[in-house]
Structure 1
């Protein structure tokens, strides 16, 4: 089975990206599960997911973690095992990963990825798939967080919308705090297949994705040619 990730810069639910995720599954009416852990299972965020999915030939699901055993009868394993794609939302990356580890969701997602379930998301929902990157999950300043490592590169979301992201990402790569990796503007995404870049996609020509890497004592940034989604 192909192992696939779609990482995009912003955590907003965008119809073209979710349509692309659905096509990545190769299924006619795929089961797509939204995981809003990073936002504390925000109700409005969940509603917006369902609203966008109304426009697509998909079967939408939501995996929430703020639950109790009296009301929640399906295990997380039972939910995730039925999915063709998982879309992770934005929010606090560090807290999300800690909850996933406590609940065993991190292991379930890794297993799902290995069996061919498409993994996708933006912001915290893209950073989590890589080996690490910078996050605003701690007080005072951006700091480094380790991801699940499905993709053995680093990542930087919000590349064009938050002014401190780009220079800090360059600095961390140059010092070796982060490995070489990939950055996405808010309205751009990268499709990975078996750990390699398949293509970059974007909602317009102003938003792009980049390969960012150290070359001696300088950091280089290569724009990845994008397919513009309509």
Structure 2
């Protein structure tokens, strides 16, 4: 079973608990992949601090490493996990580095093996064909993803006010594929590329499906189940 869970921006305790539940394991091994934030030590420290409060085994895989620092391959590390959590940050930079290291292919192997792939923001966009991203200077732009899931992804849909009007306009003009948009704590869970669950931590944050019908963009609010609190 191929499993993928994405959110519009959240990876707090409630989100990580839900991710852990998707593995079907009592004490799952979850690897933090902070490539989009340049392997930020602050983000890594917050990850390990959060993990202390949860029944998980936390790991981290940096990409900014040397052969002296790491004696196992990326593949050996990542394919032994139960879930892999990609951070938000710069989608374009992360995908470029993953492709240079062959990590894009390893992530696909992980997905096909049943390891749950997950992430907020950049960690959500990266799995789709493309997404609306702030990875470049000045303006939001379209970035190409890893093509695990069909269509486009837009995080921070209402938090960042310019995202919604740009996305609706671009879908209608066919400058970006139809797809999904997520508010911060809203999330989508896919099994074998099929959307199975829509979740959120509150009634305010919503998930949207964008389609193009008769040359006009259609924005559908999808019913979401509320996740339990932290």
Query: Within 1, Cα distance between the matches of 2:8 and 2:80?
Result: 27
Residue-by-residue CA offset, 1:149-168 (whole Å, 9 max, x unaligned):
11012110000101111111
Structure 1 unaligned regions, length at least 5: none
1:74 is paired with a residue whose SS is coil
Residue-by-residue CA offset, 1:160-200 (whole Å, 9 max, x unaligned):
10111111111221122222201110111111111111111
- For 2:192, the equivalent position in structure 1 comes to 194
Within 5 Å, which residues of 2 pair with 1:172-191?
A: 172-191=170-189
- For 2:31, the equivalent position in structure 1 comes to 33
- For 1:210, the equivalent position in structure 2 comes to 208
Is residue 8 of structure 1 aligned with residue 37 of structure 2? no
Residue 36 of structure 1 deviates from its aligned partner by 0.4
Q: How many residues align?
A: 228
Residue 121 of structure 1 deviates from its aligned partner by 0.3
- 185, 199, 219: which one aligns with 1:221: 219
Residue-by-residue CA offset, 1:47-95 (whole Å, 9 max, x unaligned):
1111111121111100101111012111101101101100000111111
Residue 13 of structure 1 deviates from its aligned partner by 2.9
Query: Within 2, Cα distance between the matches of 1:175 and 1:22?
Result: 39
- Alignment TM-score, normalising by the size of structure 2: 0.97
- 92, 95, 103: which one aligns with 1:94: 92
Structure 2 unaligned regions, length at least 5: none
Instruction: Say what the alpha-carbon RMSD is for the aligned residues.
Output: 0.9
- Where in structure 1 do 4 or more consecutive aligned residues deviate above 2 Å? none
Query: Within 1, Cα distance between the matches of 2:169 and 2:193?
Result: 24
